[in-house]
Amino acid sequence: MADSPTMTYGGYLRLDDLLSCQEPKTRAHDELLFVIIHQVYELWFKQILHEAALLQSRMEEGNSGGSLHTARRIAKILKTVVGQLDVLETMTPRQFASFRDALGNSSGFQSEQFREIEAVLGRRSFPASDLRGDERLRAAVSRPSVFDSLLRYLAGRGHPVPREALERDFSLPWEPDPGVQKVLLAVYADESGPAAEVCEALVDVDEGIQEWRYRHLKMVERTIGAKIGTGGSAGADYLRSTLFAPAFPDLWEVRSQTEEVPVHGG
């Protein structure tokens, strides 16, 4: 279809619709910032899901360069998402309190897109109520995760990935596997090879998610302290329980198994 000569910047981006989506419930100055930051989060979450689908497709096709590029883009988006917290943290506890009651039962823990991101990265333990009300989440927990796609990628490159790992029940949580870790050690032995680069790019993504959790926790602590979160969530306590839980534990475990390579003098 040819480009429309009447297409405008505002029309293409549907700015009238986009800019009418901010409806603060109070007259508090800082509520608009709160709304915009969280709406932008959801836009970035949408893009992460879009990129994650491409990443899995590229890995399963054996496309090393494409997989690397897409994983790196996801990691960059996560850096941007984390950086937005710097803006949100300019809001003081008193400024947040000026409109907090208007949030009612709403909570960031209700983000369907972030739950889907967690599922795509391998989380399977969701409350039944979340699964009942979210068709996309139900689909995500029943199909291969990003790590499953990595295993298929490695198998396609000739690495002896255990068959039981490739043919597992994808609806169950992944359990760290010594056989898979042995394969990963072999992959990392050729650290300049494409497979090792793809693995490291996934570590960047995993680290980005963990960084987001940590920064989100500190933002909540400095804004509401130990209070119960909006929507009745456990607030900081819940966030603290999710820290340091990697999406791809095997990629972290092999670091403690890597032996020092001797350097031979000339």
Query: What total of structural domains would you count in the chain?
Result: 1
Residue 123: inside a domain: no
Residue 129: inside a domain: no
What six digits make up the tokens of 11?
Answer: 């029309």
Residue 107: inside a domain: no
- Is 100 among the annotated ligand-binding positions? yes
**In which residue are the tokens 């009745």 written?**
232
pLDDT at 242 exceeding the cut of 50: yes
Residue 202: inside a domain: yes
- Is 36 among the annotated ligand-binding positions? yes
Q: What is the CATH number of the domain that holds 221?
A: 1.20.58.480
- Is 58 among the annotated ligand-binding positions? no
Residue 171: inside a domain: yes
Residue 106: inside a domain: no
> Please, which pLDDT band fits residue 233 given cuts at 50, 70 and 90?
very low
pLDDT of residue 2: 53
Mean pLDDT, residues 123-135 taken together: 89
- Is 38 among the annotated ligand-binding positions? yes
What six digits make up the tokens of 132?
Answer: 């009942």
- Is 34 among the annotated ligand-binding positions? yes
Considering the chain, what is the average pLDDT of its residues?
A: 90
Cα–Cα dist 178/246, whole Å: 17
- Is 264 among the annotated ligand-binding positions? no
CB atoms within 10 A of CB 246: 17
Are 156 and 64 in contact by the 8 Å Cβ rule? The answer is: no
Q: Where are the beta strands (DSSP E) in the chain?
A: none
> Please, which pLDDT band fits residue 111 given cuts at 50, 70 and 90?
confident
Mean pLDDT, residues 166-172 taken together: 97
Which of 43-57, 165-179, 223-237 is least confident? 223-237
Range of the domain at 84: 31-97+145-256
pLDDT at 227 exceeding the cut of 60: no
> Please, which pLDDT band fits residue 232 given cuts at 50, 70 and 90?
very low
35: amino acid identity, one letter: V
**Nearest Cα residue to 70 out of 225, 198, 261, 206:** 198
pLDDT at 8 exceeding the cut of 50: yes
- Is 50 among the annotated ligand-binding positions? no
Residue 239: inside a domain: yes
Which pTM does this prediction carry?
0.90
* Sign of CA pseudo-dihedral 128, 39, 34, 25: negative
pLDDT digits (tens, 9 = 90+) for 250-261: 999 999 998 755
pLDDT digits (tens, 9 = 90+) for 30-68: 999 999 999 999 999 999 999 999 999 999 999 999 999
- Is 35 among the annotated ligand-binding positions? yes
Residue 53: inside a domain: yes
Share of the chain above pLDDT 70, in %: 89
